[in-house]
């Protein structure tokens, strides 16, 4: 299934994408795409519906984040071999973990704000993993059974805030609007092997990133297992699994985003995003 949320910010409703690419409204009684709705039982209730019997959503509605109110937005740094190389950094011995604030989460095609004082806003296409069952100290061999689905995440980053202002990476990663998520949550049966997905990103039509998840240092299963050893993962939590080579920081000389530019990005079988970058008020 491809599950989504549509409507104005703060008033989104849950829906699904049918086999003809049309948005169908899910019954309001099922609630939003959050928490228990993303458990195996919650998803099974949606899967039992006949998509063609659901109301068609007319027009071209705004898409919100495919996950409502993620309790945790966990991110992984330096998780692609070529990206570590372009950053002139060694391969990590363990996953690099940081977080985004909940206010970073926006829809896949919403405007992204370049923060006040920013000089080094950068792009990062990433595979997002959405948790479907409570995971605490899970083994790698069992980790994928805790996954509700996958989505596209844009891990927008402000490099000066991240690397030059002291402290942790979080201050350059969690700015408002820095976490576009979606367009939809795709269940594992439609994705297949999460280590065999192509992902790409373009700025104003120029392709900077074009790689596959096969280049990950730590696989999705390893990441779910690893993070669950430090905190309990709950249904609706998101793990963003790192970005491949081709970020702005890695260009020679570095290239950063400016107001008025457009970024497109996508992942095989998970859809595309498109954002206009604007100056924050």
For 221-256, write each residue's pLDDT tens digit.
999 999 999 999 999 999 999 999 999 999 999 999
Q: Is it the case that residue 11 has pLDDT exceeding 90?
A: yes
Question: What are the residues whose beta carbons fall under 8 Å from the beta carbon of 150, sequence distance 6 or more?
Answer: 127, 128, 129, 130, 185, 186, 188, 191, 194, 267, 270
Please determine, for residue 87, whether its predicted confidence score (pLDDT) is greater than 90: no
Residue range(s) occupied by CATH 3.90.850.10 in the chain: 73-279
Give the mean model confidence (pLDDT) for residues 184-191.
Answer: 98
The mean pLDDT value for 14-40 works out to: 97
Cis peptide before 183 (omega within 30 of 0): yes
| Residue ranges with strand state E in 57-142 | 73-77, 96-99, 105-106, 112-114, 121-122, 125-131
Quickly state the pLDDT bin for 89 (edges 50, 70, 90): confident
Give 281 or 49, the one with higher predicted confidence.
Answer: 49
Q: How far is CA 147 from CA 101, 185, 190, 257, 275, in A?
A: 21, 11, 13, 33, 27
Over residues 16-29, the mean pLDDT reads: 97
Q: Confirm if 22 and 50 have CB atoms less than 8 A apart.
A: no
To the question of domain 73-279 being in CATH 3.40.630.40, the answer is no
Q: Supply the pLDDT for residue 21.
A: 96
């Amino acid at each position: 299934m491809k599950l989504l949320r549509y409507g104005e910010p703060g008033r989104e409703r849950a829906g699904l994408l049918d086999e003809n690419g049309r948005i169908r409204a899910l019954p309001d009684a099922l609630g939003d795409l959050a928490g228990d709705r993303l458990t195996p039982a919650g998803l099974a209730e949606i899967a039992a519906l006949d998509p063609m019997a659901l109301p068609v959503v007319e027009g071209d509605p705004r898409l919100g984040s495919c996950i409502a109110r993620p309790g945790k937005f966990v991110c992984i740094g330096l998780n692609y071999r070529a990206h570590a190389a372009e950053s002139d950094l060694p391969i990590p011995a363990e996953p690099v973990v940081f977080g985004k604030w909940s206010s970073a989460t926006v829809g896949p095609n919403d405007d992204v704000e370049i923060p006040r004082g920013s000089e080094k806003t950068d792009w990062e296409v990433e595979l997002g993993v959405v948790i479907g069952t409570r995971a605490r100290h899970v083994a790698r061999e069992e980790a994928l059974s805790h996954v509700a689905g996958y989505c596209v995440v844009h891990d927008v980053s402000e490099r000066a805030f991240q690397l030059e202002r002291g402290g942790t990476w979080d201050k350059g990663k969690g700015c408002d609007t820095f976490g576009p998520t979606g367009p939809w949550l795709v269940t594992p049966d439609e994705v297949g092997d999460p280590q065999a997905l192509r992902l790409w990103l373009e700025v104003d039509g120029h392709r900077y990133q074009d790689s596959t998840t096969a280049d990950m240092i730590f696989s999705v299963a390893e990441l779910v297992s690893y993070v669950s050893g430090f905190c309990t993962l709950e249904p609706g939590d998101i793990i963003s699994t790192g970005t491949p080579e081709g970020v702005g920081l890695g260009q020679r000389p570095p290239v950063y985003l400016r107001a008025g530019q457009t970024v497109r990005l996508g992942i095989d079988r998970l859809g595309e995003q498109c954002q206009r970058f604007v100056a924050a008020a």
